[in-house]
Amino acid sequence: MALWEQILWSVFAVMMGGALLAGVAVVVTATREQRRYTQERRIGERMGPAGVATHGVVAQVRRSEHQLTSPGTHGQCMVALEFTLQMPPSSPVPTVVLRTLVDELLLPRLAVPGAVLHLMQDPAHPDVVSVDRQRTPLEVAPARS
């Protein structure tokens, strides 16, 4: 094999290795961020009826750092949001940060300062909350035909 062929194959190998590493980095970052925004649902399922019903008033809303969206259970577009919530005076913590996925159709109703989100609060860890999906749905159900 000629010297120029060895150089060409070496350059190709380095470029493909870099592309592979970049792809792995993207997958790891996306998976980590997705997990941060789906953790809220798992917390609510784990808490179950042991959670204390409460509410929070939206003080601030931010999109996820990487503009994460995800398909919902009905194929709709879910947007990853971070809510800063003012808790009621009776709560042991004044504010909590809640990361969750919200159906894009519900953004005008929920992702505005002053909106009320019904929550379930962990009695052992008052800063851990989950959305009470019975009282504040985060997805729009499909029409029945």
pLDDT in tens, 62-88: 998 878 788 888 878 899 999 999 999
C-alpha closest to that of 130 among 31, 68, 55: 55
Interval 53-69 mean pLDDT: 89
Residues linked to residue 10 through DSSP beta bridges, in sequence order? none
- Report pLDDT for 69: 81
More confidently predicted of 94 and 70: 94
139: CB partners within 8 A, 6+ apart? 72, 73, 74, 76, 78, 103, 106
Quickly state the pLDDT bin for 40 (edges 50, 70, 90).
confident
pLDDT of residue 26 exceeding 90: no
Interval 32-41 mean pLDDT: 82
pLDDT of residue 120 exceeding 70: yes
Q: How far apart are CA 36 and CA 18, in angstroms?
A: 27
Quickly state the pLDDT bin for 145 (edges 50, 70, 90).
low
Residue type, 134: Q
